């Protein structure tokens, strides 16, 4: 599918004409990843964050928010619950929190791997290279880091630089930029993580061209996991104030942050990346609690992430208001999701639900299948990921020495069609 066809689907609004897209996505899902819906238990381990993302309620500047950080024992307790429910994966997510130290997190991962059979997914933001290395060595399996938008200017406008005091500390040497985030994704792949990324849909100022390019970038990055969801306004963020003006500038090209648009992006992601694990996200359920999750599953998704965060913390992990299932206990979520999955003729997945590339031996992508290659970078003869970065990224600072950005950028070559448009 080329850019023109992607754009045609994104701009199609007639229900009847969208039916073939839903059918094609559902068939691709069945063929490539089957009827199982994998459940990943989500634990929101800290809402501390040093970043100032203009869209997110956890941003450092939101001073009215009460902050929490879970203890290792609390996290382990949630993971035991995931095992009891039969889940194969636990996802540990947080704001970008230096209080989650490299060694502390490595201990948590080691304990999880020693005490449970769970796959461990981390979603802790942009961390130093040594942290990512350490957590992988401790046994972490996967890492999620959305690139949010492939439009470099839009990315920069919603990821303001960190305060000067923070930038002086080595931890925070990275100035936010799209190229830096993509470099971290590449580094994660090199380290042997399954990598996940994604975007928000309908960011004020995001055009149809941007979104089509996002979808193409999913394919170029050859992602194992793709998470997409609608942008939802949080009143205590800069985008709540600037949103209308930005949308006015984009005019008819502005992508709506709507439920139908989210289904279209899920369906197109499935067709472009048939083997990826794609969740029907909480943000979608927030827009349509009655049927959002099911319709996501019927239009390309194969994963759901039930929330295992203890209730007192869950209400404080407010990235946007009125998140779905904010007050349901993990037991209630579990029973509800099982019923919903069965109601659409699907089955709850058994086991870890690894990316097909890891199950069948790591490869550099469907077109270069090479069975039996282990997912570790030190392995001789390892196949390079199918994307790389130019030596300098758009003139932007590449981070302090030793960060994922500075290392990943050095020596890269712009060898992917269309890549230069992004970086
Ligand atoms: N701090 C980590 C990071 O940024 O990668 C992980 C946690 S962050 C809350 C996870 C995701 O939430 C982000 O990648 C972003 O796409 C999404 N998010 C944040 N604010 C949002 C909003 N207002 N509407 C929809 N999604 C949002
Ligand atoms: Fe922090 Fe992540 Fe929210 Fe940005 S999106 S403010 S890094 S929690």
User: Domain residue spans in the chain?
Assistant: 3-422
3-422: CATH superfamily: Aldolase class I (3.20.20.70)
**Ligand 2: distance of its center to the CA of 49 in Å?**
6
Mutate to test the pocket of ligand 1, among 172, 200, 202, 230 (most ligand atoms within 8 A of CB): 200
Give the DSSP per-residue string, 139-203.
Answer: T--EEE---B-S-HHHHHHHSPPPPHHHHHSGGG-PPP-HHHHHHHHHHHHHTT-EEEEEEEES-
Q: What would the pLDDT profile of 249-296 be if each residue is shown by its tens digit?
A: 889 999 999 999 999 999 999 999 999 999 998 888 888 888 889 999
pLDDT at 405 over 60: no
Distance CA 394, CA 392 (A): 6
Distance CA 221, CA 49 (A): 27
Mean of per-residue pLDDT scores for the chain: 83
Q: Is 187's C-beta closer than 6 angstroms to any atom of ligand 2? A: no
Distance CA 72, CA 81 (A): 14
Take residue 311 and report the two structure tokens written for it: 């209730």
* Between residues 173 and 222, the one the model is more confident about: 222
Q: Is 53's C-beta closer than 6 angstroms to any atom of ligand 2? A: yes
The pLDDT score that the predictor gives to residue 362 is 42
The pLDDT score that the predictor gives to residue 337 is 86
pLDDT at 106 over 80: yes
**Closest among 150, 156, 176, 183 to 414, alpha carbons compared:** 183
Atom of ligand 2 nearest to the CA of 159: 4
The pLDDT score that the predictor gives to residue 316 is 95
Take residue 163 and report the two structure tokens written for it: 């305060």
pLDDT confidence bin for 398, thresholds 50/70/90: very low
Lowest-confidence pick of 178-187, 201-210, 268-277, 399-408: 399-408
Q: Is 39's C-beta closer than 6 angstroms to any atom of ligand 2? A: no
Q: How far is CA 44 from CA 58, 122, 307, 311, 315, in A?
A: 12, 10, 8, 11, 10
- Give the pTM: 0.86
Q: Is 150's C-beta closer than 6 angstroms to any atom of ligand 1? A: no
**Ligand 2: distance of its center to the CA of 298 in Å?**
30
Q: Please tell me what DSSP assigns to residue 368.
A: G
The pLDDT score that the predictor gives to residue 28 is 97
């Amino acid at each position: 599918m080329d850019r023109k066809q992607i754009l045609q689907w994104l701009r199609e609004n007639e229900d009847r004409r969208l039916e073939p897209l839903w059918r094609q996505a559902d068939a691709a899902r069945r063929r490539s990843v089957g009827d199982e819906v994998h459940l990943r238990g989500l634990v929101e381990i800290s809402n501390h964050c040093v970043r100032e993302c203009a869209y997110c309620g956890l941003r450092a500047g939101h001073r009215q928010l009460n902050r929490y950080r879970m203890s290792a024992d609390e996290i382990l307790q949630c993971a035991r619950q995931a095992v009891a429910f039969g889940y194969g994966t636990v996802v540990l997510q947080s704001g970008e929190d230096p209080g989650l130290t490299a060694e502390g997190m490595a201990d948590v991962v080691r304990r999880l791997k020693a005490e449970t059979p769970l796959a461990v997914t981390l979603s802790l933001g942009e961390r130093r290279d040594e942290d990512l290395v350490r957590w992988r060595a401790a046994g972490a399996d996967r890492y999620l880091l959305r690139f949010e938008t492939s439009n470099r200017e839009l990315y920069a406008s919603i990821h303001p630089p960190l305060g000067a005091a923070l930038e002086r500390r080595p931890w925070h040497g990275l100035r936010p930029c799209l190229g830096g985030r993509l470099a971290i994704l590449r580094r994660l792949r090199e380290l042997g993580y399954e990598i996940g990324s994604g975007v928000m849909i309908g960011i004020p100022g995001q055009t149809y061209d941007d979104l089509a390019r996002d979808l193409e970038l999913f394919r170029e990055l050859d992602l194992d996991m793709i998470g997409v969801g609608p942008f939802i306004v949080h009143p205590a963020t800069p985008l709540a104030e600037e949103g209308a003006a930005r949308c006015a500038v984009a005019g008819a090209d502005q992508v709506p942050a709507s439920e139908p648009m989210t289904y279209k992006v899920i369906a197109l992601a499935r067709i472009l990346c048939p083997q990826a694990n794609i969740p029907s996200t909480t943000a979608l359920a927030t827009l349509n609690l009655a049927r959002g999750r099911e319709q996501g599953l019927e239009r390309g998704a194969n994963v759901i992430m039930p929330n295992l965060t203890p209730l007192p913390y869950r209400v404080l992990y407010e990235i946007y208001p009125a998140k779905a299932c904010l007050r349901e206990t993990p037991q209630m979520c579990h029973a509800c999701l099982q019923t919903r999955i069965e109601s659409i003729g699907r089955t709850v997945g058994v086991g870890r639900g690894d990316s097909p590339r890891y199950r069948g031996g790591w490869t550099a992508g469907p077109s270069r299948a090479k069975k039996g290659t282990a997912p570790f970078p030190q392995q001789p003869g390892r196949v390079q990921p199918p994307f790389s970065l130019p030596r300098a990224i758009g003139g932007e600072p590449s981070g302090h020495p030793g960060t994922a950005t500075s290392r990943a950028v050095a020596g890269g070559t712009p060898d992917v069609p269309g890549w230069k448009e992004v970086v």
